[in-house]
Structure 1
Amino acid sequence: MEIVRVVDLSREITAETVVYPGDPVPHIAQHATIAEDGFNLVSIQIGSQSGTHVDAPFHFDDDTAKIDEIPLDRFVGRGVILHCDGVQARERITLDSVRSEVESARAGDIVLVHTGWARHYGDPAYF
């Protein structure tokens, strides 16, 4: 497969990264610096659902794959965007509402669901 373009969809992770209520907040700590130690050493502790992430099947089923068990090549491929910009909070996205876009998808495609909710990032309404 020829990769025409790579699109980074991730948000920066900082100590201020917004997390779902009850999830652990990111903790970033500097342990060594070039000035004092001759090298930099930073630790990062985050919850598995923090920031931009992919839900592994394990998130909802103990008997399925954890994120580190999914091959990286599953995350590179042709992308198909399902446009669901008008969806309201807690509204279900049905197959009927995206049928024409789903029909253009091919086996192995990576499906992205665009709800427009990114505009609420940082606001309690986001969750």
Structure 2
Amino acid sequence: MTWIDISQPMNERIATWPEDTPFSYRRAVTKEESGSVNIGDITMSVHTGTHIDAPFHFDDEGKRVLDLDVNVYIGRAEVVDCRGYTSIGPEAFEGIDLSGIGRVLVKTDASTDPADFPVEAPYLTPELAPFLEERDIRLIGVDVPSVDPMESETLEAHHALFAHGVHILENAVLADIEPGTYELCALPLALEEADGSPVRAVLKQVGKE
């Protein structure tokens, strides 16, 4: 099986947090002007589309993107069906074997339109963080803009997850992904001082070529 793209397409229709910089691409230099190439510029928030958070996002003393271990973002991942849940805690994982997995992607019934920025969305409870740590989960991904409630200013799930060694991937596109075990690659850019980074996230079903 080939790799499956689970990234939101980057274009000027993509929704952003209300106070963030909207995404924009423009040709700063055209082939006609240069005689050889087109050259583009982009402006955007690092939390646009499918992205990872670094602890510096919510902690002035936290690690930046370049400080994070890239191995966290590559490897075995379990897609877990959490549709129907408003808040997602340990009970959503009853009966799911996470041994030897390392990464979890949470599929919800949130909107699948990247241009639709939700007022409300399913969120993770802080109690999920120690549950994941006990099972050696190093990364959790969600298909919504935040692991916390959309209106949260305290970001309790963000703090709890990183306190328990669990990294964060947000806005993955999982609507057409069946629950099960996959290989994940969702590498952040090598941004030295950044609090987050866009990623090109892809999955491949385990055991298939």
Q: Among 97, 111, 125, which residue is 2:92 paired with? A: 97
Higher relative contact order (CA 8 A, sep 6+): 2
**Alpha carbon RMSD of aligned pairs, Å?**
2.2
CA contact (8 A) 1:33 1:40 kept: yes
- Structure having the larger proportion of residues in strand: 2
Runs of 4+ in 1 over 2 A off after TM superposition: 4-8, 118-127
C-alpha separation between the residues in 2 aligned to 1:18 and 1:7?
22
Show structure 2 runs of 5+ residues with no match: 121-209
> Deviations for 1:59-106, whole angstroms, at most 9, x for unmatched residues?
22222222232232221101111211112xxx32111122322xx223
Question: Measured at CA, do residues 107 and 56 of structure 1 come closer, stay the same or move farther in structure 2, by a change above 3 Å?
Answer: farther
Question: Measured at CA, do residues 13 and 120 of structure 1 come closer, stay the same or move farther in structure 2, by a change above 3 Å?
Answer: closer
Taking the TM superposition and a 5 Å limit, the aligned residue runs for 1:1-127 are 6-37=3-34, 38-87=36-85, 91-101=86-96, 104-106=97-99, 109-125=102-118
Which of these two proteins has the greater Rg computed from alpha carbons? 1
* TM-score, scaled relative to structure 2: 0.50
- Structure having the larger proportion of residues in helix: 1
Q: Percent identity?
A: 24
Give the drift of 1:120.
4.8
Show structure 1 runs of 5+ residues with no match: none
* TM-score, scaled relative to structure 1: 0.78
More divergent stretch after superposition (59-68 vs 37-46): 59-68
CA contact (8 A) 1:24 1:47 kept: yes
